[in-house]
């Protein structure tokens, strides 16, 4: 069974640009969550999508948005990039997301550098 995949793995952008990251969950998983990790910080929750709907949202500005497609693949978009957006972005998939202590399976992450 293929694991969670994320593309691209590395990305360099400049301030003010926008970026789209992609996440393909494990086959059969319907929940995709996105996390940001910056130096010195733990994984910070961005949002979760389930069946094409944003179900939960963390405390990030509106420049961070996402969507999920009917095949459960998810994209995350960051507009008007700032230097502080430089981070490792991880996505995680699970069967249902909420309930039943669902284990989350993580992808390898996308390393975004904003210059």
Partner 1 sequence: ILNVEQSPQSLHVQEGDSTNFTCSFPSSNFYALHWYRWETAKSPEALFVMTLNGDEKKKGRISATLNTKEGYSYLYIKGSQPEDSATYLCAFDNYGQNFVFGPGTRLSALP
d(CA 9, CA 25): 15
Q: How far is CA 89 from the centre of its chain?
A: 6
Q: Are strands 105-106 and 87-94 parallel, antiparallel or unpaired?
A: antiparallel
| Least distance CB 101 / partner 1 (angstroms) | 5
d(CA 54, CA 107): 19
| Least distance CB 14 / partner 1 (angstroms) | 26
- Report the SS3 class of residue 74: strand
What one-character DSSP code corresponds to residue 72? S
| Least distance CB 64 / partner 1 (angstroms) | 14
d(CA 99, CA 107): 21
| Least distance CB 50 / partner 1 (angstroms) | 10
Q: Which CB atom, from 81 or from 97, has the smaller least distance to partner 1?
A: 97
Q: Which CB atom, from 52 or from 80, has the smaller least distance to partner 1?
A: 52
User: Which pair of tokens denotes residue 34?
Assistant: 């996105």
Q: Which CB atom, from 47 or from 81, has the smaller least distance to partner 1?
A: 47
Q: Which CB atom, from 5 or from 79, has the smaller least distance to partner 1?
A: 5
Interface with partner 1 (CB under 8 A) = 3-4, 33, 35, 40-45, 48, 55-56, 58, 90, 97-109
């Amino acid at each position: 069974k293929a694991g969670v995949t994320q593309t691209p793995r590395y990305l360099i952008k400049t301030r003010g640009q926008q970026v789209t990251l992609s996440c393909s969950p494990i086959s059969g998983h319907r929940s995709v969550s996105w996390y940001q990790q910056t130096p010195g910080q733990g994984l910070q929750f961005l949002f979760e999508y389930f069946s094409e709907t944003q179900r939960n949202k963390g405390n990030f500005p509106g420049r961070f948005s996402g969507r999920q497609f009917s095949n459960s693949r998810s994209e995350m978009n960051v507009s008007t990039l700032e230097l502080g957006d430089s981070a490792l972005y991880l996505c995680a998939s699970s069967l249902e997301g909420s309930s039943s202590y669902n284990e989350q399976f993580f992808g390898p992450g996308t390393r975004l550098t904003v210059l």
